[in-house]
Amino acid sequence: MPSISNINKILTGLILTLCFNTFCHAAVARDWNDVLLDAIRADQARPTIHARNLYHISAAMYDAWCAYEENCQGVFFQEKITSDDISSDQQQAISFATYRLLIWRFNTSVGAPTSIPNINNHMQGLGYDANDTGTSGNTAAAVGNRIAQTIIDMGLNDGSNEINDYINQYYEPINEPLLPDFDGNPDITDPNRWQPLALEYFKDQSGIVLGEYPDFLSPEWGHVTPFSLTPNDLTEHQRDGDIYPVYMDPGAPPMIAGVGDDDYKSGFEQVVEFSGYLDPADGVLIDISPASRGNNDLGTNNGTGRDLNPITGLPYTPQMVPAGDYFRVLAEFWADGPDSETPPGHWFTILNTVSDHPLLEKRLNGVGPILDDLEWEVKTYLALGGTMHDSAITAWGIKGWYDYIRPISAIRYMCDQGQSSDPNAASFAPNGINLHPGYIELITPATIQPGGIHEFLAGIGNENLGKIAVKAWRGPDYIIDPDTTTAGVGWILCENWWPYQRPSFVSPPFAGYVSGHSVFSRAAAEVMTLLTGSAYFPGGMSDFLAPQNEFLVFEDGPSVDVILQWATYQDAADETSISRIYGGIHPTADDIPGRFMGYEIGHQAFNRAMAYFNGSQPAVAVPINQIPVLFLMLSGMLYLSRKKIMKNR
C-alpha cells in the first residue's frame, strides 16, 4: 500500500508514453502551470473553483504573451506593447502576471503554508524581483502586474462570490443528513433531491480533513461569467425566489414516483450490480486493451475496440486481467483522490504529457507551422482552461438547480421502502427497489436456512426477514488493514450498502446530476482532439501502470499489475465516465447527458479560443440545440449503455 506522497507521484506522473529528455521541452508557461497544479493539489478538492483558477491563470499567461504579438487578441487585456526583446519580455510578463494571480488566489488556501513558499521560490528562481509591484509604464513587470490586477478585479465581480470565499448565498438542502455509519436512510424527505451526509470527520478528495461534511459545493455556479457559453445556451430557473442560471439545460433527471420512475430505479440498481463486480477473486478475466474496449459512439458504451493501431499499423496487444481489479483501479484512478489536481487539473497533466511526447508535432489543429514551445503552451492552456471553466459552470449550474440525489441515499431509501417487483410478496412498496436474482433479493425464511445464501443475514430473532439483501462490495467495515486486506464482495443488508469510497469521504459534497467527470472529460477530449488535429494519443495509445498491491488506497490491490490503456482522448473520457458507476458515485442518468454537454462545450470553447488566436472578435458560439432532444432519447441510451457494459464484462 503506497503512502499519500507515492500516490501523488503516481497520479501526477501520468505516464502516457516514455518522454525522453532530448525531446521534452518546456517553456516558462509550463513551469508556472506545474506550480499551479501543485497549489491545487495542496488545496481542498474544489473542482469549480480550480477550473476557474486554471482558466484565469491560463488567460493571464496567454494575455501576457499576446501583448507582444501583432495578430492575436487578448482575453482580458487588450494592450499591445513594443519591445526590443520580445521573447524575454514575454517570459517576464507571464511570470509577473501568473505570480501575482497565484498569490492572490492561494494566499488563504488550506495548503498556503506549502504553496506560497513554492510560488515565491519559483519566482525567485527565475531571477525576478517579486517586490516590483508597479503597474505603470511598459516594463515587462508592469505589464504582467497590470494583467494580474485586471483579472483580480474582474474576478471580484464575475458571480463567483470570491470576495466571500465562494460561500453559497441562498441554496439550502431540503433533506436532513444521512448518517452512513447507521442503517438505512430513515430521515430523507424527498428521494429525488440531494442529501448531505453526517460524518464524524470528512476528508475530501484531496485528502484534506475538514472536520465535518461540507456544504454543497457551488450550487449557484451558473452565475459565474463563462468563457464561451452564450445567452442562447442559458435558461434561468427560480426556486423560492432565487435564480438558478442553467446553461445547456438537459431537462429533469428520472424521478421516483414521477416521470422516469423506471429509469430512476434501474439506474441505481445498476450501481448496486456494478458494486458486485469489484472482487478480483471472482475468476472473471477480461481484455482491457484498445483491442476490445473503447471506440464508443457518443453517449453510448457500444464500442468493441479497434483492430489496428492506426499510427503503427499493428494490432493492439490484448491485456487480460481480473475484472474486479480493473474496475477497482478505474474507480480509484479517475476519482482524482488524495493529493489530486481535481478532474479539470487532471486533464492539464494529460495535456502536458502529450505536449512532451516526441511524436507530437506542435501544429495548432494539426495544420500550419510548428509552434515554438511557449506559443503552444499559452494557446493550449487557454483553450483547455476555458473549456474546463465552461464545463464547471454548465455542470454545477445543473447540479444546483436539479439538486439530484446520490446513489447511497437513493439505494438505501428504496431498500428501506421494500421491494417493488411483486405485489404478492413480502415488503412490497411502490417506491421499493426492484428484485434481481443474484444481486438484489428478498430475505426469506428459505434463504436464511443453514447453507442458504442469506444465512448470516437473519439477525437476532430473524429480525431481518423481509429486508432487502444485495450482493455488493461489502464496505469499509470489512477492511481490517488497508495494506493487506480487501472488503471483497458478498451478500449484505441493502440498508448498509456503501459506495467504493473511503469511510471518511463516502460521496462528493454536491448533487449528482449531471456528472462533472463526464462533462469535464468529454469536453477535454474534444478540445485535445481539436488542438492536436488527431483523436489519437501520440503513437496511437497511452497508458498508466497501477502496480500490483500498491496502487489502491483504502484496500489492498490490485492483485496484479493493471495497465490502463486508451487509443483516443474520447476513450479515456468514456472510461472516466463509466468509472463513476463502479465507484458508486453516479448512475448512468448522470453520465450520458454530461457526455453530450462536454462534446458541445469542447467544440464551442475551441472556436472561441481560435477567435482570440486569430485576432478577431470572439465568434458567436455554435448554438446548443440538440441537448433537450438527446435527453428525450436517454431511456434508450441507458438501455444500450447497460447492455454493452454487461457484454464487455
- Distance between CA atoms of 501 and 196, rounded to whole angstroms? 16
What is the model's pLDDT at position 1? 44
pLDDT tens digits, one per residue of 408-446: 999 999 999 999 999 999 999 999 999 999 999 999 999
Q: To the nearest 5 percent, what fractions of the chain are helix, strand and coil?
A: 45, 10, 50
Write down the domain spans for the chain: 4-169+248-408+507-648
- Distance between CA atoms of 147 and 81, rounded to whole angstroms? 12
Q: Look at residue 642 and tell me whether its pLDDT is greater than 50.
A: no
Q: Name the pairing type of β-strands 320-322 and 440-442.
A: unpaired
Rounded percentage of the chain residues whose pLDDT exceeds 90:
86
Query: Domain 4-169+248-408+507-648 - what CATH class?
Result: mainly alpha
Q: Look at residue 557 and tell me whether its pLDDT is greater than 70.
A: yes
Q: What is the mean pLDDT of residues 31-47?
A: 96
Nearest to 630 by CA among 594, 577, 588, 585: 594
Q: Look at residue 350 and tell me whether its pLDDT is greater than 90.
A: yes
Q: Look at residue 53 and tell me whether its pLDDT is greater than 80.
A: yes
Judged by average pLDDT, the poorest of 45-49, 165-169, 202-206, 297-301 is 202-206
What is the model's pLDDT at position 338? 55
Rounded percentage of the chain residues whose pLDDT exceeds 70:
89
Q: What is the mean pLDDT of residues 325-336?
A: 94
| Prediction pTM value | 0.92
* Cβ pair 276, 439 in contact under 8 A: yes
Is the C-alpha dihedral spanning 412, 46, 569, 558 positive or negative? Answer: negative
What is the model's pLDDT at position 208? 62
On the 0-12 / 13-18 / 19+ scale of CB atoms within 10 A, 129 is exposed
* Cβ pair 554, 476 in contact under 8 A: yes
pLDDT tens digits, one per residue of 144-158: 999 999 999 999 999
What is the model's pLDDT at position 336? 77
Give the three cell numbers for residue 494: 441493502
3-state secondary structure of 239: strand
pLDDT tens digits, one per residue of 477-513: 999 999 999 999 999 999 999 999 988 888 999 999 9
Find the helix packing angle between 140-155 and 47-66, rounded to 10°: 150
Q: What is the mean pLDDT of residues 185-210?
A: 81
- Distance between CA atoms of 577 and 297, rounded to whole angstroms? 14
Residues sharing a CB contact under 8 Å with residue 313, sequence separation 6 or more, in sequence order: none
What is the model's pLDDT at position 138? 97
Q: What is the mean pLDDT of residues 255-261?
A: 98
Q: Look at residue 569 and tell me whether its pLDDT is greater than 90.
A: yes
Where does the pLDDT of residue 4 fall: very low under 50, low under 70, confident under 90, or very high at 90 and above?
A: very low
Give the three cell numbers for residue 35: 506550480
What is the model's pLDDT at position 631? 34
Q: What is the mean pLDDT of residues 233-254?
A: 98
* Cβ pair 341, 37 in contact under 8 A: yes
What is the model's pLDDT at position 553? 92
pLDDT higher at 402 or 200: 402
Q: Look at residue 457 and tell me whether its pLDDT is greater than 90.
A: yes
* Cβ pair 291, 520 in contact under 8 A: no
Q: Look at residue 530 and tell me whether its pLDDT is greater than 60.
A: yes
What is the model's pLDDT at position 213? 76
- Distance between CA atoms of 465 and 423, rounded to whole angstroms? 17
